[in-house]
């Protein structure tokens, strides 16, 4: 069993990395879901939502098959001497997949509520799609983005099922906070379990507080009663 | 004064719109009831919605479906002022204004910005977000933003709709200032003939995708089918004249139509010499075969019947008042027989001061 410091270090490394990787990916996916017109929109939505409804151990098992030496992705990386399974990389991949729906959905909802006429106006003023996205769509969906990233980060911190299957429970490498609690309880170290649980509760409260703050700040900052944003203030960013 | 030429054809489902318009001045106004195709026309010119169309503005082809050409909106150089203003809510008025300015900062750019903010009185609004602007202020910022993008064509979607009378007057003044100061060619769309007449050099009356009538404002009023006119402004008769004198004590004002036709209208607070536009309903005109004696109606004209048009329970009688002023009266078929109304017949037409309405 790793030290409290190691457990926190691994947990934060894994969660922060997964969240940072989710940032650009969720922007792209949310935009495709909010503005996409093709037949592929539905299937994409289903794929993005799937990790939310699958048991995490199943997600972990699928990842193990994909990332393993003989798997689709693992097989490509093996000749390069890269092995992902049972490394911190695998733990990051597990968190990334499991937290993906939580990062994408609030952002997609927020983008869907951005008045398309504003985007049209930007185009008539000479803005290309890239500028429309970064200067109109994204700033007006900021609340959804931050909420999604926070939820994804929180989900990553709590990830257990997929991680233990694809990354194992290796002290100092893949043993995150939930795995540490599991190990402590199953090996009778009640005091360690209690300390870890306390840390988890404090972290969770901090995150929930931050989420509330983000919502409040953005609501007062951006266009209260302003056109096109009026509706946004009434909708919750939580997708569930 | 520059010219503006518009040549377009668009198809949307079973709807077909065809318009070839050449204007002597830079502002074209399109008027028509909802469903006439006004919005489709703007969308096609701005390139906002993909549709089968051909759009040519001043010889520049913006779209031609037959050869698969559709210039994207950002390359069309159209400054569209949306009906709902479409200001970016997360930016200040100043940030909204400069959004469409392209290229590196330059003296020319700064001068354009200063000029637009001055003409539209935007100085005090620059730091505010749209949520903190009134309806009229938003409209002005939206107008300024479109102008600053240096458009080859300004598109105005119902620029005076949804404003109360006082505000409408003020925005109209600003639009006139924009027109005089910056002279951008513009295409304006409205369901109110008055708005269009006030600003345009060339007016197009659109109904169900067809051009019903078009021409310079004064000419258009003479030529447009009276029933179409009535649908657009609520009056079959729209007369343009000059205010001579308003005398609230006598309860009347004098308005000259052309050289020697004078009307008594209700008093107004417009200054003497103002051009005015008056509306009179066809059913408010009374026809008489002999000159009537003393009546309470202040307006009495000796006119000749131009045409008698039966319309079911009604008959419309077009009257030539001289000085190229025409009036249309609505009478019953019984009156037509009794007064022996036919083309060329001389009759007297009389109407009350208060059946004359100031349009505006």
Indicate if B339 and B203 belong to the same structural domain.
Answer: no
Q: Say whether residue B182 is in contact with chain A using an 8 A CB cutoff.
A: no
Q: Looking at the DSSP assignment, which residues form a beta bridge with residue B16? A: B11
Report the range of poorest mean pLDDT among A155-159, A166-170, B169-173, B334-338. B169-173
Task: List the domains of chain A with CATH numbers.
Answer: 4-234 (1.10.3720.10)
Nearest residue in chain A measured CA to CA from B102: A126
Indicate if B184 and B251 belong to the same structural domain.
Answer: no
**Which residue of A116, A125, A232 to mutate against B (max B Cβ within 10 Å)?**
A125
**Spatial distance between the Cα atoms of A164 and A167, rounded to a whole number of angstroms:** 5
Query: Are A124 and B89 inside 8 Å of each other by CB?
Result: no
Whether residue A8 is predicted with pLDDT greater than 80 in this model: the reply is yes
Query: Are A123 and B149 inside 8 Å of each other by CB?
Result: no
Nearest residue in chain B measured CA to CA from A229: B89
In chain A, the percentage of residues whose pLDDT exceeds 90 is 75
Chain A partners within 8 Å of B87 (Cβ): 227
Indicate if B39 and B89 belong to the same structural domain.
Answer: yes
Indicate if B273 and B198 belong to the same structural domain.
Answer: no
**Spatial distance between the Cα atoms of B67 and B71, rounded to a whole number of angstroms:** 12
Output the domain CATH number for residue B334. Answer: 2.40.50.100
Q: Say whether residue B46 is in contact with chain A using an 8 A CB cutoff.
A: yes
In chain A, the percentage of residues whose pLDDT exceeds 70 is 90
Is B94 inside a domain boundary?
Answer: yes
Q: What is the least distance, in Å, from the CA of A40 to any CA of chain B?
A: 20
Query: Are A117 and B84 inside 8 Å of each other by CB?
Result: yes
Is B230 inside a domain boundary?
Answer: no
Of B316 and A20, the structure prediction assigns the larger pLDDT to: A20
| A222 — pLDDT class (breaks 50, 70, 90) | low
| A218 — pLDDT class (breaks 50, 70, 90) | low
Concatenated DSSP letters of B97-135:
HHTT--SS--HHHHHHHHHHHHHTT-GGGTT--GGGS-H
Q: What pLDDT was estimated at residue B157? A: 93
Question: What are the average pLDDT values for consecutive 10-residue runs of chain B, which has 360 residues?
Answer: 73 80 86 81 85 81 85 90 93 94 80 91 94 92 93 91 81 88 87 83 86 83 74 79 86 87 88 86 90 88 91 87 86 91 93 86
Parent domain of B344: 237-358
Q: What pLDDT was estimated at residue B246? A: 85
Is B227 inside a domain boundary?
Answer: no
Q: Within 10 A of B210 (CB to CB), how many other CB atoms are there?
A: 14
Whether residue A240 is predicted with pLDDT greater than 50 in this model: the reply is no
pTM value > 0.90: no
Is B83 inside a domain boundary?
Answer: yes
In the β-sheet with B299-311, what is the strand arrangement from edge to edge? B286-288, B346-351, B299-311, B314-320, B326-331
Chain Cα centroid distance, residue B44: 21
Q: What pLDDT was estimated at residue B50? A: 76
Which tokens belong to A213? 């703050």
- What average pLDDT does range A17-21 have in this prediction? 97
Q: Say whether residue B86 is in contact with chain A using an 8 A CB cutoff.
A: yes
Q: Which of B73, B79, B131 sits opposite A123 (nearest CB)?
A: B73
Q: Which of A123, A223, A227 sits opposite B84 (nearest CB)?
A: A227
Please work out, in degrees rounded to the nearest 5, the angle formed at the alpha carbon of residue B218 by the alpha carbons of B216 and B223.
Answer: 85
Please determine, for the modelled complex, whether the ipTM score is greater than 0.85: no
Q: What pLDDT was estimated at residue B57? A: 83
Chain B partners within 8 Å of A231 (Cβ): none
Query: Are A124 and B102 inside 8 Å of each other by CB?
Result: no
């Amino acid at each position: 069993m790793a030290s409290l410091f190691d457990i926190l270090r691994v947990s934060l490394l894994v969660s922060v990395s997964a969240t940072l990787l989710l940032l650009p990916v969720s922007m792209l996916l949310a935009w495709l879901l909010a503005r996409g017109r093709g037949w592929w929109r539905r299937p994409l939505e289903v794929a993005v939502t799937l990790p939310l409804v699958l048991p995490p151990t199943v997600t972990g098992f699928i990842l193990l098959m994909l990332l393993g030496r003989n798997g689709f992705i693992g097989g490509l990386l093996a000749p390069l001497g890269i092995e992902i399974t049972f490394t911190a990389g695998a733990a990051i991949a597990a968190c990334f997949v499991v937290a993906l729906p939580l990062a994408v959905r609030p952002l997609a909802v927020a983008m869907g509520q951005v008045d398309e006429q504003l985007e049209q106006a930007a185009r008539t003023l000479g803005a290309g799609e890239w500028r429309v996205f970064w200067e109109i769509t994204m700033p007006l969906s900021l609340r959804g983005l931050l909420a999604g990233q926070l939820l994804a980060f929180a989900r990553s911190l709590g990830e257990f099922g997929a991680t233990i299957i694809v990354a194992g429970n290796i002290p100092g490498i893949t043993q995150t906070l939930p795995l540490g609690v599991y190990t402590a309880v199953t090996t009778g170290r009640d005091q360690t379990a209690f300390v870890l649980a306390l840390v988890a509760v404090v972290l969770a409260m901090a995150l929930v507080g931050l989420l509330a703050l983000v919502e409040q700040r953005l609501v007062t900052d951006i266009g209260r009663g302003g056109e096109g944003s009026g509706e946004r203030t009434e909708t919750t960013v939580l997708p569930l | 004064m520059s010219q503006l030429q518009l040549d377009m054809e668009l198809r949307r489902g079973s709807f077909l719109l065809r318009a070839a318009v050449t204007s002597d001045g830079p502002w074209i106004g399109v008027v028509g009831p909802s469903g006439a195709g006004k919005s489709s026309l703007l969308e096609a010119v701005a390139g906002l919605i993909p549709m089968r169309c051909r759009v040519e503005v001043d010889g520049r082809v913006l779209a031609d479906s037959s050869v698969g050409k559709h210039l994207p909106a950002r390359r069309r150089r159209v400054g569209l002022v949306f009906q709902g203003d479409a200001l970016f809510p997360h930016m200040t008025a100043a940030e909204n204004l400069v959004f469409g300015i392209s290229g590196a900062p330059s003296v020319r750019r700064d001068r354009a910005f200063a000029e637009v903010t001055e003409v539209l009185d935007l100085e005090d609004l620059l730091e505010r977000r749209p949520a903190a602007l009134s309806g009229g202020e938003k409209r002005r910022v939206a107008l300024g933003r479109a102008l600053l993008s240096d458009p080859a064509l300004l598109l105005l979607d119902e620029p005076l709709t949804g404003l109360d009378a006082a505000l409408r007057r003020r925005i109209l003044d600003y639009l006139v200032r924009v027109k005089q100061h910056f002279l951008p060619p513009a295409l304006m769309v409205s369901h109110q003939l008055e708005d269009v007449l006030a600003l345009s050099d060339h007016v197009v009356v659109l109904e169900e995708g067809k051009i019903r009538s078009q021409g310079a404002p004064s000419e258009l009023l003479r030529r447009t089918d009276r029933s179409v006119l009535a649908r657009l402004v609520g009056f079959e008769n729209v007369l343009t004249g000059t205010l001579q004198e308003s005398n609230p004590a006598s309860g009347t004002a004098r308005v000259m139509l052309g050289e020697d036709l004078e009307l008594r209208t209700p008093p107004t607070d417009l200054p003497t010499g103002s051009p005015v536009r008056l509306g009179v309903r066809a059913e408010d005109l009374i026809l008489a075969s002999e000159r009537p004696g003393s009546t309470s109606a202040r307006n009495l004209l000796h006119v000749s019947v131009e045409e008698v048009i039966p319309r079911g329970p009604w008959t419309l009688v077009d009257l030539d008042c001289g000085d190229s002023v025409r009036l249309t009266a609505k009478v019953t078929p019984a009156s037509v027989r009794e007064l022996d109304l036919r083309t060329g017949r001389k009759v007297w037409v009389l109407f009350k001061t208060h059946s004359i309405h100031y349009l505006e």
